[in-house]
């Protein structure tokens, strides 16, 4: 269900979350995030995420009204024009449609693992600070069948606005576990028989094609600058590189993730 509310003053307090879209830490502290764009919001409306409100133009309301009507919440639909949304958020918008959403309650590790069907495929992030890279990595993970995302304390949240947008809403499909100590969490996964595989461009241990990804697996990716922390790397059973042409030593982390995730998918489903 939804209730139409015409916006006469973009300074009204109900629109505060949209005004603070750039203050990502404030929104995370409130347990909310902003989704934006037609594809992202359309995918959001198909989930059970709690939607607090939507902000859109009359044209978008006409298109998305039936989907809003099917929602269990009573959602305020704030209506203004494209210029009003740009004035409110502080930057131009290509698609004038946004929503304020609750960040899902965090999953405990045991529940996160037990709900996945074997052979399990998880992805862990260590030190990824770029929200665009995190969003692209999430999109790759969803595209190649990952069953969950493990976020270390030094990585940015996949629910940051730019990460959600870069993921094209695929973050809504991935269960997320936030770890306060990623090395310790990986050690727990290993005790449960889940192999931990580090994407490491400077190892001589083995190449990507030499790993058996038909086993329960967690692929661990680090930042482009520093790579994986020593503590996290110590908890990875395998350090694995992607063979590359001479003179090129690494890929963007999202690109490297896509190569790793495809190899998992290929071994399991393509042969």
Q: Residue 94: pLDDT band by 50, 70, 90 thresholds?
A: low
Residue 92: pLDDT above 70?
A: no
HSE, CB side, 13 Å, CA atoms: give it for residue 207: 4
* Fold: same for 2-102 and 109-270: no
Q: What's the pLDDT score for residue 22?
A: 59
Q: Residue 29: pLDDT band by 50, 70, 90 thresholds?
A: confident
Residue 204: pLDDT above 70?
A: yes
Architecture of the CATH domain 2-102:
2-Layer Sandwich (3.30)
Q: What is the DSSP string of 199-219?
A: E-TT--SEEGGGS-TTSSEEE
The end-to-end CA distance of the chain, in Å, is 46
Closest CA to 216 of 88, 133, 87, 118: 118
Q: What's the pLDDT score for residue 25?
A: 61
- Per the listing, tokens 């990824």 go with 128
Residue 153: pLDDT above 60?
A: yes
Give the residue extent of every domain in the chain.
2-102, 109-270
Q: What is the pTM of this model?
A: 0.95
The highest-level CATH class for domain 109-270 is: alpha beta
Q: Residue 182: pLDDT band by 50, 70, 90 thresholds?
A: very high
CA angle 115–119–122, rounded 5-degree value: 65
């Amino acid at each position: 269900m939804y209730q139409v509310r015409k916006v006469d003053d973009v300074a009204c307090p109900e629109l505060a979350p949209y005004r603070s879209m750039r203050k990502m830490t404030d929104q995370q502290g409130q347990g909310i995030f902003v989704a934006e764009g037609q594809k992202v919001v359309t995918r959001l409306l198909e989930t059970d995420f709690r939607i607090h409100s939507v902000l859109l133009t009359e044209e978008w309301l006409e298109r998305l009204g039936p989907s809003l009507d099917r929602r269990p919440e009573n959602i305020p639909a704030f209506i203004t024009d494209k210029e009003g949304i740009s004035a409110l958020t502080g930057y131009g918008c290509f698609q004038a449609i946004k929503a304020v959403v609750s960040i899902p309650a965090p999953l405990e590790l045991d529940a996160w693992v037990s709900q996945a069907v074997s052979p399990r495929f998880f992805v862990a992030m260590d030190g990824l600070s770029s929200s665009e890279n995190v969003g692209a990595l999430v999109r790759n993970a969803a595209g190649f069948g990952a069953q969950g995302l493990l976020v270390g304390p030094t990585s940015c949240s996949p629910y940051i606005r730019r990460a959600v947008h870069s993921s094209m809403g695929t973050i809504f499909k991935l269960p997320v576990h936030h770890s306060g100590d990623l090395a310790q969490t990986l050690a727990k996964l290993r005790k449960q028989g889940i192999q931990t595989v580090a994407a490491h461009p400077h190892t001589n241990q083995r190449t990507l094609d030499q790993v058996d990804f038909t086993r329960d697996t967690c692929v661990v990716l680090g930042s482009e600058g520093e790579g994986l922390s020593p503590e996290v790397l110590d908890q990875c059973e395998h350090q694995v590189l992607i063979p590359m042409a001479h003179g090129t030593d690494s890929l963007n982390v999202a690109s490297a993730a896509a190569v790793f995730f495809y190899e998992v998918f290929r071994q399991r489903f393509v042969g």
